[in-house]
């Protein structure tokens, strides 16, 4: 059963999730050609700890870093390391925090300019698919309603939806029930109830939806090595809609001429 959160719990998740947005914004200020993904990870960890919080991903089932940084054909769970970013890269950053025992979780994708038009459109449409999925939320709806909105929108452009990985509930654990696929049929799946907190996170591929896991046990790549984009919000279900607990506003305000930021 999905956990129904109290208003106190919801505000704790909101506080943690808002810090995630601030952290990704801080990282975005430092994205440039030649910077390593490990250097960005260190910036994120220091920022989170300076705000009296803990990185949610570091040590989670053995994950070694604060951020998942996934570049180009890496869909999710990219491990920060010595890789240097270069012009034209699509960089997806997924971040989690823990404050007072409650988790925040959000993700955003950037382009390192100059960005190919097809990648710019992939990021924009993945971002928009997230908002479309959120827009239909209300108590009584089903997770399949969310997935249907995401899937039909992105597939209209010829993109594919990753099916091996899904969104999830969020609270005092990083991953709770229900699972929230980015594909589905209207009226199917778990019922949304007021007070549920879920993460919706479209992972949309330019080519095939098929993915493969690398030998490191984490990195997920597209099978055809074509790029993938990833955006994520944490939301609480209300009777008449969704209340977005995470935020992209700080990210959208970042001034960095080296990157393209979808708005």
**pLDDT per residue as tens digits for the range 217-252:** 999 999 999 999 999 999 999 999 999 999 999 999
At residue 175, the 3 state secondary structure works out as coil
Q: Would you say residue 247 lies in a domain?
A: yes
Residue 72 per-residue DSSP state? T
Q: Span 78-99, mean pLDDT?
A: 98
Reply yes or no on whether the pLDDT at 174 is more than 70: yes
Residue 20: the pLDDT is 98
**pLDDT per residue as tens digits for the range 20-36:** 999 999 999 999 999 99
The tally of domains found in the chain comes to 1
Mean pLDDT computed over every residue of the chain: 97
Q: Global pTM?
A: 0.97
Q: Which of 242, 235, 2 is nearest to 137 (CA)?
A: 242
d(CA 23, CA 43): 9
Q: Would you say residue 252 lies in a domain?
A: yes
Q: What percent of the chain has pLDDT over 70?
A: 99
Domain span including residue 69: 7-261
Confidence of residue 138 (pLDDT cuts 50, 70, 90): very high
Q: Would you say residue 1 lies in a domain?
A: no
Reply yes or no on whether the pLDDT at 1 is more than 80: no
d(CA 198, CA 238): 12
d(CA 9, CA 100): 10
Residue 3: the pLDDT is 85
Confidence of residue 2 (pLDDT cuts 50, 70, 90): low
Q: Would you say residue 2 lies in a domain?
A: no
Reply yes or no on whether the pLDDT at 47 is more than 80: yes
d(CA 175, CA 260): 30
- What CATH number is attached to the domain comprising 80? 3.90.230.10
> Where is 10: in which H helix or E strand?
helix 7-28
d(CA 169, CA 66): 20
Reply yes or no on whether the pLDDT at 111 is more than 90: yes
Residue 62: the pLDDT is 97
Residues 6+ apart with CB under 8 A from 15: 99, 100, 102, 104
Q: Span 6-26, mean pLDDT?
A: 98
Q: Which of 93, 90, 81, 91 is nearest to 37 (CA)?
A: 81
Q: Would you say residue 91 lies in a domain?
A: yes
Residue 68: the pLDDT is 98
Q: Would you say residue 134 lies in a domain?
A: yes
- Joined together, the tokens standing for residue 93 give 């950053």
């Amino acid at each position: 059963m999905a956990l129904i959160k109290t208003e106190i719990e919801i505000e704790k998740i909101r506080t943690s999730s808002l810090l995630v947005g601030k952290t990704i914004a801080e990282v975005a200020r430092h994205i440039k050609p030649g910077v390593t993904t490990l250097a960005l990870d260190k910036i994120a960890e220091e920022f989170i700890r300076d705000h009296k919080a803990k990185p949610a991903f570091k040590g989670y089932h053995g994950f070694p870093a604060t951020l998942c940084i996934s570049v180009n054909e890496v869909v999710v769970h990219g491990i920060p390391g010595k890789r240097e970013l270069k012009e034209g890269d699509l960089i997806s950053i997924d971040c989690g925090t823990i404050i007072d025992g409650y988790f925040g979780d959000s993700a955003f994708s950037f382009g390192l300019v100059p960005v190919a038009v097809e990648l710019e459109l992939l990021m924009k449409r993945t971002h928009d698919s997230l908002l479309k999925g959120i827009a239909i939320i209300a108590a009584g709806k089903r997770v399949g309603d969310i997935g249907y909105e995401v899937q039909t929108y992105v597939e209209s452009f010829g993109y594919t939806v990753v099916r091996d990985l899904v969104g999830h509930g969020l609270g005092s654990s990083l991953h709770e029930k229900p699972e929230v696929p980015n594909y589905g049929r209207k009226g199917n799946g778990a019922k949304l109830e007021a007070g549920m907190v879920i993460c919706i996170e479209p992972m949309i591929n330019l080519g095939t939806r098929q993915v493969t896991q690398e030998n490191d046990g984490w990195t997920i790549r597209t099978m055809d090595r074509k790029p993938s984009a990833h955006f994520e919000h944490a939301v609480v279900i209300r009777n008449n809609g969704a209340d977005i607990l995470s935020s992209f506003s700080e990210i959208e305000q970042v001034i960095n001429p080296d990157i393209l930021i979808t708005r």
